[in-house]
Structure 1
C-alpha cells in the first residue's frame, strides 16, 4: 500500500509540474491549440512526411507531363506497297491527316510478295498493304499497328465507297444520306463528361488516400501514447477532450494543406494540356471538394482517434479499425461506381456524400441548393461524430490491459 501511495504521489507531482510548465510555455493559450501546433510541427519536420508529399507532387507532375508528351506525340509509320497496292497506299498517305493528325504515313514501294515479307522481317516497313478477294489486308510481322490500322480502314472505306458510287452514277454523299448518328448530352458534352469522370476519380482517390494515411498515423500516435503510459501524465495536465481536439485539428490542417498542394499542382499542370480551357470550370468544383473534404475528414479523423483509444497495443489496431476501414472502402467504391438515382441519393448521405456530391458538381446540372444541403448534412454528421467520439475516446483512453469494446467504453464511468 505504501508503494502504491508513493507512486500515486509521484504521478500527481509529475502531472502538476507538467501542467505548470505547459502554462508557462503557452502563456495561457488553450491546451488544444498547443496540441494542434505540436501535431503540425512534428509532422512538417518529419522527413517521411515531406518526402512522401514531394513524391506525390512529382508523380502528379510526371503524369501530367507524360500526358502532354503523348498528346503532342506523332506516330510515324512506314507502309509497304507492292505494284497492285501503290495507288491505295498513296491514298492512305494523303488521307491520314484527315483521320488522325498525329499519324504520318510514309509509303515504300516493294517489288513483290517476297520483297514485302523480307522488308517486314528486317523492320524496313511497319506493315504491308495488299489486295485480297474481298478487300484489302494489312500484314505485319508480329503485332498490329493500331494507329495505322485505324487510318487504313477509314481511308480504304471512303476510297472504295467513292469508286463504287462513281460506277453506279451517284456520289458518296448521296449514298450516306440519312446514315449519320450523332450523340448529345443533356448536360455538357462528351469531352466535358470525360474530363469530369477523370477529375472525379482523382477527388475520390485523394479523399481515400488522405483519410487512410492520416487516419492510420493518428490512431498509431494515440496507441503509442497509451502504451507508453505518457497519456496518463498528459491527462493530468490537460483535459482529454483538448488532446483529442488538438490531434484532430492538427491532422485535418495537415491533410487540407497537402490536398491544396496536390490540387494546385494538378490545375496548373492541366493548364498546359489540351484541356486547359476546362481549368476555370474545374476551380469551382475543386473548392466545393475542399469544403466536403474538410467536413468528412474531421468526422473520420475523430473515428480514427477512437479506434486508437480502444486498442492497448499496436497489434489491436487492425481489429479496432476494421469497421472504419470497411466504411472507407464503401465510400471509395461508392464514389467510383454509383450513378443515376443511386448517385443522387448517396450525395446526401454522410459520409459518402463527401466524395459523391463533388462528382455530381463536376458533371453539372446540380441546383445551387443541393451542395449546400449535402454539406450541411455532412457537417451535422461530423458534429455528432465528434460528440460521440469524444465520449468514447475519453473513456477508453485510460483503460489498459487489453482491447476495449465500444460497449465498455460507452458504459465506463467518468
Structure 2
C-alpha cells in the first residue's frame, strides 16, 4: 500500500481501531472470566430473592389437649395466615412470605413447658377466665404475637357478643380503620434503594473496568512505541475515537447483558409486578450510561497518554477512580433534594435520574433536560481530551500533567 493509498483510507481509520478494540477486549481471558463471574453473582442474587419470597416460616404452638378453645384459636390463626399470604401473592408485592401455624397437643402444664424447653414448640397458648397467655422460651416472635393477638380478640368478641345477645358485627360497627394511598402505584422503598445500589454498582464497575482497559491499551502502545508507527498513517484523533467507541460498545453490551439477566430474574421474584417500571428505569440508565461513558472513556484515554510507563498509570488514573467512586457512593445513598440536584449533574445523573424515574419523582421533561446536559458535558470532555491526548501521546521521558498535555504541540 502506497502512502497515497493510506491517505485515502484514513477516513475510516477510526472504524478499524474500533473493531480492533472490540475484538481484543472480547477475547481477553480476564474480561471473559469476570463477565461470567458477574453473571453468576446476578443469577445467584435473583435465585436468593426468589427463594426468600417463596419460603414459608412455620410456628408450632402447644395447647393442652383439654383446651379446645385454645386449639380452635390456633387453627383460626393458621387460616388467617394462609389467607394473608394468598392475598399478598395475588397482589404480587414483596413480602408475600407464607406463615404456617401448627398445633401441638400436650397434656398438662409440665408437658407444655417441656415442649418449649426442647424447642418442640415455639409457643404455648393457654386460655382461662382471666384471659389468654402466650408463653415462650425466649423473646416471642412479633409476627406470631400479632397473629394470635388478632385471632384471640376476634374469638373473645364473638363470645361476648353471643353472651350479650348481639353479633360481633354490631359490637364492632364503626371501628374499622380503612387505608388509602395518595399514590397507589408507589413502589416499595426497599426496591428503589436496591435498584439505586445496583445501578450505581453497574456504573462504577463499567466505568472503572472499561476505563482502566483503555488507559492500559494506550500506555501499552505508547511504551512499545507502536503508537509512533500508527501516528504516521492514522490521525491520532481517529485512534482516540476508535478506542472510545470500541470500549463504549463493550461496556454497553456488558451492562445490557447484566440488565437483561437481572430483569429476567426479577420476573420470578415477588417484585415481578414492578417489572415495567424497572424496565423503563433500566432503559434510561442504558441511554445515560452510553452518553456518559463516552466522556469517561475519553478521560481515561488521556490518563493513559499522560503516563510514559505502565508504573505511571496508578498516578494518572487515581483521580478519575476516586471521582467515580465518590459518585458511586453518593448516588445510591442520596435522597430528597440532594438526589434531585444530582439527577441534573453530568455523570452523577447516569444513576440518579433513572432512579428518580423509577420512583415516579421525575416529570417527563426532567430526564430529557438531564440527558441534554450530559450530552453537552460529553462533547466538551471529548474535545478537551482530544487536544490533551494528541499533545501527550507522543511525549516520552516522564509523566505529564493535563496542563502540559494541553499546551504541547500536537
Give the shorter-chain TM-score range.
0.7 to 0.9
Q: Quick one: which of 29, 34, 49 aligns to 1:67?
A: 49
Please give the secondary structure, in 2, of the residue aligned with 1:399. coil
Determine the structure 2 residue equivalent to 1:108: 104
1:57 aligns with 2:39: yes
SS at match of 2:124: strand
Q: How far does residue 160 in structure 1 lie from its aligned partner after superposition?
A: 5.3
Q: Which deviates more from structure 2 when the two are superposed, residues 126-135 or residues 274-283?
A: 126-135
Q: Deviations over 1:250-279 (max 9, x none)?
A: 110011111111112222222333433333
Offset of residue 343 of structure 1: 2.3
Deviations along 1:126-183, whole A, 9 cap, x unmatched? 333457998633414x686565345334434554566677788885885684673746
Which residue of the other structure, out of 337, 352, 355, is the alignment partner of 1:341? 337
1:42 is the counterpart of 2:38: no
User: CA RMSD of the aligned region, Å?
Assistant: 3.4
Structure 2 match to 1:137? 134
8 A contact 1:84–1:130 mirrored in 2? no
Q: What is the deviation of 1:93?
A: 3.1
The corresponding residue for 1:317 is: 313
- Which is further off, 296-305 or 145-154? 145-154
- Mapped partners of 2:341, 2:171: distance in 1: 49
In 2, Cα distance between equivalents of 1:399 and 1:134: 88
Distance change >3 Å, CA 346–CA 96, structure 1 → 2: same
Aligned to 1:7: none
Return closer, same or farther for 1:191/1:288 CA change in 2, 3 Å cut-off: closer
**TM-score (normalised: structure 2):** 0.83
Superposition map of 1:305-384 within 5 A: 305-384=301-380
Asked if the contact 1:79–1:125 (Cα under 8 Å) also holds between the matched residues in 2, the reply is yes
Distance 1:306 1:153 in 2: 67
Q: In the alignment, what sits opposite 1:93?
A: 75
Gapped regions of structure 2 (runs ≥ 5): 86-97
Which consecutive unaligned segments of at least 5 residues does structure 1 have?
1-16
Secondary structure at 1:109's aligned position in 2? strand
1:256 is matched with which residue: 244, 252, 272? 252
Distance verdict in 2 for CA 1:303–1:113, change over 3 Å: farther
Moved more, 341-350 or 38-47: 341-350
Q: Structure 1's 190 and 28: CA in aligned 2 closer, same or farther, altered over 3 A?
A: closer
Count of residue correspondences: 394
Instruction: Between 305-314 and 356-365, report the one with greater CA deviation.
Output: 305-314
Q: What is the aligned partner in structure 2 of residue 128 from structure 1? A: 124
Instruction: Establish whether residue 282 from structure 1 lines up as the match of residue 278 from structure 2.
Output: yes
Picking from 243, 246, 265, the partner of 2:239 is 243
1:138/1:149 contact within 8 Å kept: no
Give runs of aligned pairs for residues 294-309 of structure 1, distance below 5 A.
294-309=290-305
